[in-house]
Structure 1
């Protein structure tokens, strides 16, 4: 299903440099559009760089993770995964200076609830948001169509949780590993952490699931290499094995290196102030424009 999906065709980037190129172009397009009459020094002082945008997005990804984790009623994993997919897709082609992440992240979560058939009303949803809930409702409903348009109405998301379950069943059936269920807590934690990386827009869900399982197995000092090379792929998949091993290695490195701590508070405060000054006021609900 995944190879024929819109996720595979339109929203899986070839590599990190390809994704970073899109982000760089998005940042530069905004700056050139809104800083036409400025010198290069003025643009640097006024607008956020692509690196600064990534710092702000990382901060909001951490906030999104906490929002989903503490959501009431408990949010299913599929909804959380789809929410992160939407958020990352949106900001591959849009600048934080155009659309503030704090407004887009809740819209992503609300749309994901609908798409994944997690039935919560808008009033139930905004009850999880601190502050002015009437304003939050307006922001979400006003941004919902925009979000769908920016996603090109490609709303179906394949998450790594189903492949993970399939792989665990297969390992129980066809491998010699003792009690594969003991891998589950670590695997689930790794899959959640993977959403704080770019893995979900770079690799197939099955590759992410396999990487998490292999990493979890190494944590409990087990080895599943023979299962992967001989049982899972066998001789008919030998030609694909080298590329799979490389993908799994890269995903495991991303999961291992993910920064789950909040960037320095002073740095983030300065970036937030800079964003408030340079953001597109036409897309600011609090602006008179």
Structure 2
């Protein structure tokens, strides 16, 4: 079913080269459109504009602020809302420059839109109570940027998360690996699973891997923290193709951590 969604069709990419190209295009497009406005010579561009690498660093910085905002939110925000808001934020800046749209304004807009899409009912008054500073201005920022955000992510609002797959894999492990000396209580893995998913938010993993792949990687990572191997379960899961799948998953886990 996932392969029929807009998430898969438009937001899962074959490799990091495509992500690099999109970010580079957004950076170059802003510089091209604005270089004449401030009368900058081509050799002076680095002094007046951000590089793509600097833009990525800024996006990651504000991404950490978005996560902190969600953690402090009252009433507590479900992890689905946090995950959706993060992915809206990352999608927005995959094709747009921070020099054109300030990330500070997109943080609150992404969280507010994610809350609506994930049916986390919170009024605007309740929402802005979580914002430091001028709450009236915060509400205005959200409302002014909501349509912009919708347009820039092409109104593709449904996000598929790894959480449901994680629950399914944990149930499957309990059922299929009862006789195994390890993995007898995969519930122990939950803290490390959450840590892994949190770390993935700071990478491009959500652009490159499907949610079920991320879920399985999180479980492998958590098992490894207990000195346990998931290879037995992976062999059951993938059958004759298990060696290739195990190599693929281990390669990704090493590259991400």
Output the TM-score relative to the length of structure 1: 0.83
Residues 86 and 201 in structure 2, CA contact (< 8 A), matched pair in contact too: yes
Q: What is the aligned partner in structure 2 of residue 261 from structure 1?
A: none
Superposed CA RMSD: 1.4
Q: What is the aligned partner in structure 2 of residue 190 from structure 1?
A: 196
Pair 1:22 & 2:22 matched: yes
Output the TM-score relative to the length of structure 2: 0.94
Instruction: Give the CA deviation at 1:38.
Output: 2.8
Residues 215 and 252 in structure 1, CA contact (< 8 A), matched pair in contact too: no
Show structure 2 runs of 5+ residues with no match.
none
Instruction: Give the CA deviation at 1:5.
Output: 0.8
- After TM superposition, the structure 1 = structure 2 runs for residues 1-289 of structure 1, keeping only pairs within 5 Å, are 1-36=1-36, 37-175=39-177, 176=180, 177-229=183-235, 231-235=236-240, 238=241, 242=244, 245-254=247-256, 256=257
Distance 1:111 1:245 in 2: 38
Show structure 1 runs of 5+ residues with no match.
257-289
Q: Structure 1: which 4+ aligned runs deviate by more than 6 Å?
A: none
Residues 19 and 92 in structure 1, CA contact (< 8 A), matched pair in contact too: yes
CA deviations over 1:40-75 (Å, ceiling 9, x no partner): 222211111101111111110111111111111110
Q: What is the aligned partner in structure 2 of residue 270 from structure 1?
A: none
Distance 1:130 1:121 in 2: 17
Residues 231 and 246 in structure 2, CA contact (< 8 A), matched pair in contact too: no
Distance 2:151 2:191 in 1: 37
Instruction: Give the CA deviation at 1:14.
Output: 1.4
Instruction: Give the CA deviation at 1:159.
Output: 0.7
Residues 210 and 248 in structure 1, CA contact (< 8 A), matched pair in contact too: no
Distance 1:189 1:181 in 2: 14
CA deviations over 1:75-106 (Å, ceiling 9, x no partner): 00111110111001000111001100000111
Q: 1:202 to 1:251 in 2, by over 3 A?
A: farther
Aligned pair count? Answer: 251
Q: 1:251 to 1:202 in 2, by over 3 A?
A: farther
Distance 1:98 1:33 in 2: 11
Structure number with greater CO (CA < 8 Å, separation at least 6) is 1
